[in-house]
Amino acid sequence: MQHIRVGISLPIRELCADLGAIREFAREAENLGFSHLRVPDQVIRPGGGYAHEAFMILAYVAAIAREIELVPSVIVTPLRQTALLAKQAAQLDVFTGGRTRLGLGVGSSEMEYGALGQDFGTRGKRADEQIELLKALWTQEKVRFDGRWDQIQDMGIDPLPIQRPIPIWIGARSQPVKAVRERIGCKADGWFVLCSPDEFDGLKADIDSAARQAGRDPGEIGTEAGIAVVGPREGEWQDRVKGWRDKGLTHLCLRTLGGGLDAEGHMARMHEVADQLGEVLGTSNA
């Protein structure tokens, strides 16, 4: 059975006002052997919601944690200018020495699209075009691109990222539209599993089929599920980890969010989970 990489979400929604706590959580996650840190994207939302901008907070973390992979996920791609997004991701990859993995998605809030002056109805098609351009901007010093939304003539970003291209991961729920399954199978390096274990096999079969039709090896497309380690089902996280491991996932992301913890509580819970992970996974470390 392949080794599974276990990361943890940086609880920026609950620790947002305390940069010192964010710094310590990131540093300790690395010290405990977690493979990656994930943060959500939020630019503007109805009713607000305190959260740092994903690239900015991970650039801050990059100066603190020197080995852990950093994963903004998922960036709502059509809300952002493609060249600027390419530049931001490339800079983070440079800051981390090639330890960036980029989660992309199209979002579901029409109100958010309106607030940022973007078209909600074409977001899927635009995301497909953006992925193509992102990969070109990350791998070529000068790009010629004539798309529906972006046109670039003999221009490029500098510096280029360390990873050329940066890995792109996309989220998929239990019944994503056909375009999402095809986007993952044809274009993505991996996908975030936003469904139950019972729904996983059918969804993966669709994505694998799309990959094969595109001439790709489905075995090279990663999978990552999230698991809460707090809340009403706090005591069941070990079984969920084992269940997803047995499904053959390549990555997991644990969450201390949602339990109403303070900074000390998040840190303590992370330590408790890390102490048990080796036994849960049948390994000597996480």
- Burial degree of 132 (CB within 10 A; 0-12, 13-18, 19+): middle
Secondary structure, 3-state, 2-54: CCCEEEEECCHHHHCCCHHHHHHHHHHHHHCCCCEEEECCCCCCCCCCCCCCH
Asked whether 134 and 100 are in contact (CB, 8 A), the reply is no
* Mean pLDDT value of segment 223-250: 93
Query: pLDDT tens across 31-57, in order?
Result: 999 999 999 998 887 776 778 999 999
| Type and span of the H or E element at 172 | strand 168-173
pLDDT at 90: 98
Task: Name the pLDDT band for 1 (thresholds 50, 70, 90).
Answer: very low
| Residues 6 or more apart whose Cβ sits within 8 Å of residue 235 | none
pLDDT at 174: 63
* Average pLDDT across the chain, whole number: 93
Asked whether 29 and 37 are in contact (CB, 8 A), the reply is yes
* Mean pLDDT value of segment 62-76: 95
* Mean pLDDT value of segment 120-145: 97
Res 80 pLDDT > 70: yes
Res 2 pLDDT > 80: no
pLDDT at 176: 64
Query: pLDDT tens across 156-183, in order?
Result: 999 999 999 999 999 877 666 789 999 9
| Closest CA relative to residue 285, chosen from 276, 266, 27 | 276
Res 224 pLDDT > 80: yes
Res 92 pLDDT > 70: yes
234 vs 7: which has the higher pLDDT: 7
Q: Please give the Cα distance from 196 to 136 (Å, whole number).
A: 35
Least confidently predicted of 48-52, 202-206, 215-219, 278-282: 48-52
pLDDT at 286: 40
Q: Please give the Cα distance from 135 to 133 (Å, whole number).
A: 5
* Mean pLDDT value of segment 262-284: 93
* Mean pLDDT value of segment 131-149: 98
Asked whether 45 and 262 are in contact (CB, 8 A), the reply is no
Res 76 pLDDT > 50: yes
Q: Please give the Cα distance from 193 to 172 (Å, whole number).
A: 6
* Mean pLDDT value of segment 221-240: 91
